[in-house]
Amino acid sequence: MSGMFLSSKLTTILLLFTNKSLDPGQNIQENTLLSVYGNSSWHFDEVRNQCYFHQFMKEQPDLNFRNPDVQEEIKEILRFWLTKGVDGFSFDAVKFLLEAKHLRDEIQVNKTQIPDTVTQYSELYHDFTTTQVGMHDIVRSFRQTMDQYSTEPGRYRFMGTEAYAESIDRTVMYYGLPFIQEVDFPFNNYLTMLDTVSGNSVYEVITSWMENMPEGKWPNWMIGGPDSSRLTSRLGNQYVNVMNMLLFTLPGTPITYYGEEIGMGNIVATNLNESYDINTLRSKSPMQWDNSSNAGFSEASHTWLPTNSDYHTVNVDSCSVTHARVQWRDLGTLQPLPPGFK
């Protein structure tokens, strides 16, 4: 592996694999690591005659966060926006910040499976590409940078993290240690992982979070988000009001995703650029404001993602959702703020 500098300070690069015997146009991978979307984590760049590493799409190459210059550049970006007055940041996919230095092939879940047939992310254990030693140190260093801008009275800078599908006991570690603050909210998306609901399943998620959360920390809850199927599509329209009521009456802070209050559903597969996976876009269709063109979201001839086909009846202006919308708004006024927030 090699970290490289280009001429610009901004471009402290990537995880690269150099093979001196590589002929022009010959695509050789470092190993068989898979991206989250199931394709190879390595993409060959013809200009550099090298492969670069990406845990997500090939358009999202991984930065080499083991390089202190990369970390410092990210802090400079934070300082730029904090100076502009932003109130906080959400750090996405933080468990992917570091990879094991050796970057060996990861272990198959089914050891009898023929290696060449392993094509899905779920078919591997990801002990070498997630939650590596030193990852929390990097996150804490970002927190410390933000704290430098939280000294003004009444001006606290909020920090949240998205850790994906780690277990609850590992996710709450992002709150930090008793004397070392890390993040304010490790986003609690475990209710979004329920494909069916029962009193017991909901109780188990809530109880597990509250019992594992460090003393003195503040809980948060989500029933929808950009990386999960929408509530209506996941559980059924009959649960929209129930789950919204639950969200706003749990102890802590509710985090809502646009459209969940009116029961927006997933979009179906359409003619998208082949670079994109419909599963990553299904819950990202335009907000459905009314029954006009593009659901009132845009006056353009078409939007990048299509509106859901039900927008004529499921929209903010629709009489069928008016009561739910008012109820949702009124419930929001009951929520207290976390300690220290105004």
Domains and CATH numbers, the chain: 10-63+108-128 (3.90.400.10), 65-98+133-187 (no CATH), 189-335 (3.20.20.80)
Mean pLDDT of 293-300: 95
CA dihedral 335, 338, 341, 342 (to 10 degrees): 20
pLDDT at 95 over 60: yes
Higher pLDDT, 250 or 279: 250
Mean pLDDT of 114-137: 94
Mean pLDDT of 260-265: 92
Annotated catalytic sites, by residue?
92, 162
Starting at the edge strand found earlier in the chain, the sheet holding 16-17 runs: 16-17, 50-53, 42-45
Q: How many CB atoms lie within 10 A of CB 186?
A: 27
Tokens of 208: 């597990």
What's the Cα-to-Cα distance from 31 to each of 93, 105, 116, 129, 202, rounded to whole Å? 22, 6, 12, 13, 40
What pLDDT is attached to residue 140?
97
- The predicted model scores a pTM of 0.84
Higher pLDDT, 5 or 128: 128
Over the stretch 34-89, which tens digit does the pLDDT of each residue have? 999 888 999 998 888 888 899 998 989 999 999 999 999 999 999 999 999 999 99
CA dihedral 133, 136, 142, 144 (to 10 degrees): -120
pLDDT at 290 over 80: yes
In terms of DSSP bridges, do strands 42-45 and 50-53 run parallel, antiparallel, or are they unpaired?
Answer: antiparallel
What pLDDT is attached to residue 173?
95
Over the stretch 156-212, which tens digit does the pLDDT of each residue have? 999 999 987 679 999 999 999 888 899 999 999 999 999 889 999 999 999 999 999
Of 48, 50, 29, give the one whose Cα is nearest residue 40.
29
What pLDDT is attached to residue 165?
65
pLDDT at 3 over 60: no
Of 307, 276, 302, 305, give the one whose Cα is nearest residue 289.
307
